[in-house]
Amino acid sequence: MPGNPSPSAPRPPATLRAFFSRGGALARALGNYEYRSGQWEMAEAVERALAERRHLLVEAGTGTGKTLAYLAPVLASGRRVLISTGTKNLQDQLMHKDIPLLARAVGRELKAVCLKGRNNYACRAKIADLERQPALLGLADLDRYRHIRAWAEETATGDRAELEDLPEVSPLWERLNARRDACTGSKCRCFDDCFLTAMRQRAMEADLVVANHHLFFADLAIKSRDLPGVLPPYEAVVLDEAHELEDIAGQYFGVGLSNLQLQDLAADGAALAKFIAAGNGEVANTAGQGWLPALQHAAEAGGHLFAALAADGEGRAPLRDRAAFVAAHRAVFERLRGGLAAAEAGMEALRPAPEELEPLLRRVRDTAAKVEYLFTGEAEGVVFWHERRGRGVYLQATPIAVAALLEERLFAATDTVILTSATLAIEGRFDYVRQRLGVPHGGERVVVSPFDYEQQALLYLPEDLPDPRTPEFAAAAAEEIAAILQCSQGRAFVLSTSYEQMRELHRRLAPRLPFATLLQGEAPRHILLERFRQTPGAVLFATSSFWQGVDVQGEQLSCVIVDKLPFAAPNDPVLEARIRAMQAEGRNAFMELQLPQAVLALKQGFGRLIRSRSDRGVLALLDGRVLRQRYGSVFLQSLPPYRRTRQLSEVKAFFAAAPGPEARAEKEARA
């Protein structure tokens, strides 16, 4: 997205080489700075890509210092560059750690703005409305509302992250946030004082703007419909944690609807009708106009329809024959469709029309359009699928391939896109990422980690376990894990490729291990991680969400055990559709799609172990296929140069060479 040149920004002293040198500005700002040739190598590549206005792919090994390696040349370029990260946590790390460090190095304060999704920000109008009508609040929420109201008078950002005691799931916050579906935009009486308005203005004047991938692709999707985007104009973009892009892009270039969204629509309608009736006598009978009952009937019908979608229980499944499904549930489908149409007509006919009704009307129209598309619309190159998670049932249309969409909407529209991650290359090549993301010609760079993996890590590949696809595997794997944990004295992640396997291994091992065990799902992720860090010898059993984005430095995490090669389930509806599409073109879906996906996932999982030069530990892969199958060499050649063994005795010797905390305590006691 072309934009105006960025404001005048301070350049790192002299050259980037001097900036990153052993006696340079970064070293003086950091104090304990260690020169890393890979960091300078990456910074130089980013600098050249920005100057030459071309795209760049960079795999930067763990410990490279890739964040500063792109921040410094971005700042020096004088161009308006947007930085997008994988998660909000990484945004916070950039804002509170990396950018302040860069500011100290360049010798002045930097104007940096962090942009998140709208529902992360408070809405002043909603806060004021509830203040005038506190009866709409329950007693349980009244004290928390008063706290939020007082905070809103003092905060400069309106970002809920500042409310440390606000629960992760808060119905009250949902009533007070600035989400698009309840926003009147420039018509709002608080528009000039809006947190979002102020944030966007600061972003236009900032040296550095930091977003996240979900917001970035939501913005691209909005602009593809010729609507104003939510991000400021930019000339170039850095996409950190770029290995996640295909799935996120598919989500936002697709269409989705859930039973929970229909319930929220009806609930918001009821709350709005109550609010208008309480505050405006002219429309006191709004709730009786017919649109609200129609909306509630639509939500009820939608609940039945979505329940029928997920009749087979939890998990994902394709919706192969939408026409047959609609025919089998014709009556309830027509009630949903008719209820939305009646609600829309009723709101359009309402006179005088309250201003607050406009966002709700927009949502009803959007929901009706989604219902038509998802159940009856024609679409090529799209897979329709549904998923049940707890109380939610989700229906989604996802593009089978996003490469052409990204090439058109991102790479052709922006002259410099820099994609970086610790895991982008397969056997040192970027062919897979280029093909999946539609990255045109441009620069490539693999920057090796500064860690001494041959000395710091041992890769254990036991060769006598049953095939992981057989019923005998779980029992044998549990015995092997128990033996490894005895060597490591706990201090381990046991990472499984499925929830079922995770629970089975935990069931078999937890009663017999002399270490504290933690199980994913027992508490929120951040709480489990803190418990792991604080519990000597703890063993965490986990699955997908702990394979990446987790950083536990030091001996507390000294072992990572992976049960099997992380091939995605072939019956996943999106993967299944992609496999069929590639096979129809005469291509080898296993070698071109499934194998590269699994290689990058394994690199991510193993990447949890060595996070600093002082870390030391054992990686264990219990899947013998990596040794027996020809494709196993692709995994091994794509991993860092770990020292390898097939003998448990060498694992024991590795830990004995640097004994764990219990052994050290015993030795000290004897002394």
Q: Which of 415, 431, 447 is the last residue of a domain?
A: 447
Half-sphere exposure (Cβ direction) of 305: Cα atoms closer than 13 Å: 31
Amino acid at 644: R
Please check whether residues 372 and 348 belong to one and the same domain: yes
Structure tokens of 108? 């002045």
Last residue of a domain, one of 359, 378, 399: 399
- 188: three-class secondary structure by DSSP: coil
Q: Are residues 384 and 422 in the same domain?
A: no
Q: What is the largest CA-CA distance in the chain?
A: 89
One domain for residues 365 and 323: yes
Both structure tokens of 520: 């994913």
Question: Distance between CA atoms of 655 and 658, rounded to whole angstroms?
Answer: 5
Domain at 371, CATH number: 1.10.275
Stated length of the chain? 671
CA distance 300 to 415: 48
Q: Output DSSP code: residue 314.
A: S
| CA–CA gap between residue 222 and residue 215 (Å, rounded) | 10
122 within some domain: no
Count of beta carbons in the 10 Å neighbourhood of residue 34: 12
Tell me how far apart the alpha carbons of residues 548 and 538 are, in angstroms, rounded to a whole number: 19
Task: Report the DSSP pairing between strands 492-495 and 559-562.
Answer: parallel
Lookup: tokens for 564? 């099997």
238 with 274, same domain: the answer is no
pLDDT for the residue numbered 280: 53
Which contiguous run of DSSP H or E holds residue 542? strand 539-542
Q: Which of 382, 399, 416 is the last residue of a domain?
A: 399
Q: State whether 505 and 535 are in the same domain.
A: yes
Q: Which residue has the tokens 């119905």?
A: 171
Same domain, yes or no: 380 and 429: no
Residue 24 inside a domain? The answer is: yes
Classify residue 141: in a domain, yes or no.
no
Sheet holding 539-542, edge to edge: 517-519, 539-542, 492-495, 559-562, 617-621, 457-460, 643-645
Same domain, 260 and 239: no
Question: Does 186 map to a domain?
Answer: no
pLDDT of 196: 85
Q: pLDDT under 70 in the chain at which residues?
A: 1-14, 133-140, 181-182, 226-228, 278-289, 659-671
Q: What is the helix (H) or strand (E) element at residue 124, kind and residue range?
A: helix 124-132
Cβ(352)–Cβ(283) below 8 Å: yes
Among 272, 276, 298, smallest CA distance to 285 is for 276
Q: DSSP states of 422-479 as a string? A: SS--BTTB-HHHHHHHT--S-EEEEE--SS-HHHHEEEE--SSSPPTTSTTHHHHHHH
Q: Are 560 and 481 within one domain?
A: yes
Pairing type for strands 112-114 and 208-212 reads parallel
562 and 656 in a single domain? The answer is: yes
In a 3-state reduction of DSSP, which class is residue 58? strand
The radius of gyration of the chain's CA atoms, rounded to the nearest angstrom, is 27
Do 220 and 82 lie in a common domain?
A: yes
Q: Cβ distance 493 to 561 under 8 Å? A: yes
d(CA 244, CA 256): 19
The pLDDT, as a whole number, for residue 133 is 67
- Answer whether residue 153 is part of any domain: no
Query: Which tokens sit at 197?
Result: 């308005």
3-state class (DSSP) for residue 644: strand
Q: What is the DSSP letter of 547?
A: S
Rounded Cα–Cα distance for residues 505 and 477 (Å): 8
Number of domains in the chain: 3
- 64 lies in some domain: yes
Q: Does one domain contain both 272 and 244?
A: no
List, in order, residues 6 or more apart from 276 with CB less than 8 Å away.
283, 286, 354, 356, 357
Q: CATH number, domain at 423?
A: 3.40.50.300
Strand 382-389 to strand 392-399: parallel, antiparallel, or no bridges (unpaired)? antiparallel
Give the per-residue pLDDT at 136. 59
d(CA 307, CA 328): 13
- pTM of this structure: 0.85
Q: Which amino acid is at 640?
A: P
Nearest to 577 by CA among 389, 289, 286, 380: 380
- Whether residues 565 and 470 share a domain: the answer is yes
Range of the domain at 317: 253-399
With beta carbons less than 8 A apart as the criterion, state whether 45 and 443 touch. yes
Which residue, 218, 283, 206, is CA-closest to 250? 218
What is the C-alpha to C-alpha distance for residues 475 and 468, in angstroms, rounded to an integer? 11
The answer to whether residue 142 sits within a structural domain is: no
Instruction: Using the structure block, give the residue that is written with the tokens 């010898």.
Output: 537
CA distances to 240, 242, 598, 649 from 83, in Å: 8, 12, 27, 47
What secondary structure does DSSP assign to 225-280, as a single string? TT---SSPP-SEEEESSGGGHHHHHHHHHSEEEEHHHHHHHHHHHHHHHHHHHHH-
**Token couple for 33:** 């700075």
| Amino acid 227: pLDDT | 67
Please, which residues have CB within 8 angstroms of residue 433's CB and are 6 or more apart in sequence? Answer: 57, 242, 243, 419, 424, 425, 439
| Closest listed residue to residue 116, CA positions, set 170, 192, 196, 181 | 196
